[in-house]
């Protein structure tokens, strides 16, 4: 979600776009530091259907905020569990299936590159609170859930500022 309330498709995001991210005091606008894109073929992704009628199709390790305010990999979210929306409401996971896409563009964004607080790396994807690329890399490295306030994000993967 952009600062002005508009919704932009992930494949339209560019460096510098102001997006809404979580902070200690709520949603706030920050510029995207980095957007990466990679096209892959015959790739398995997770397709999640939610109780509000929305769906999210993303990589299996895409992180979302669950009902316990933990960032969890999408492929580990069980049916019946709840995920947190940007407005604080919880939505139930009705389906979570692995599907093979003939061709898919994987898009990752990086925000708040100077903060190790996971909360500062949470942005809005299809109305859900999701972790940025640094959260995903940290989650991949640890294989564990990430607490929004108490864990730390590894910043070693931040490319140098140009």
- The closest of 159, 123, 98 to 13, measured between CA atoms, is 123
The CATH number of the structural domain formed by 10-147 is 2.170.16.10
Residue 106's pLDDT band (cuts 50, 70, 90):
confident
Order of strands, edge to edge, in the sheet holding 90-110?
55-58, 34-50, 90-110, 82-84
Q: Are 17 and 31 in contact (CB under 8 A)?
A: yes
Looking at per-residue confidence, does 8 or 34 come out higher? 34
Q: Are 48 and 55 in contact (CB under 8 A)?
A: yes
The phi-psi region of residue 88 (left if phi > 0; otherwise alpha if psi is between -120 and 50; otherwise beta) is: left
Q: Are 81 and 93 in contact (CB under 8 A)?
A: yes
Using the predicted structure, report yes or no on whether residue 104 has a pLDDT greater than 70: yes
Using the predicted structure, report yes or no on whether residue 158 has a pLDDT greater than 90: no
pLDDT at 130: 92
- pTM above 0.75? yes
* Mean pLDDT across 29-47: 89
pLDDT at 6: 64
- The closest of 98, 109, 123, 149 to 1, measured between CA atoms, is 123
pLDDT digits (tens, 9 = 90+) for 50-74: 999 999 989 999 999 999 999 999 9
Boundaries of every domain in the chain: 10-147
d(CA 60, CA 48): 10
pLDDT at 162: 67
């Amino acid at each position: 979600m952009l600062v002005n309330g508009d919704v932009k498709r992930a494949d339209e995001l560019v460096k510098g776009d102001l997006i809404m991210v979580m902070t200690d005091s709520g949603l706030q606008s920050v510029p995207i530091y980095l957007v990466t894109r990679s096209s892959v073929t015959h790739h398995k992704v997770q397709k999640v259907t939610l109780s509000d009628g929305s769906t999210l199709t993303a990589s299996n390790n895409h992180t979302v905020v669950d009902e316990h305010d933990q960032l969890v990999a999408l492929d580990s979210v069980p049916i019946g569990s709840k995920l947190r929306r940007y407005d604080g409401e919880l939505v139930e996971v009705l389906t979570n299936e692995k599907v093979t896409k003939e061709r898919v563009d994987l898009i990752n964004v990086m925000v708040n590159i100077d903060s190790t607080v996971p909360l500062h790396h949470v942005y809005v994807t299809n109305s859900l609170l999701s972790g940025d690329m640094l959260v995903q890399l940290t989650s991949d490295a640890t294989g564990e859930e990430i607490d929004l306030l108490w864990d730390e994000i590894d910043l070693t993967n931040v490319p140098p500022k140009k």
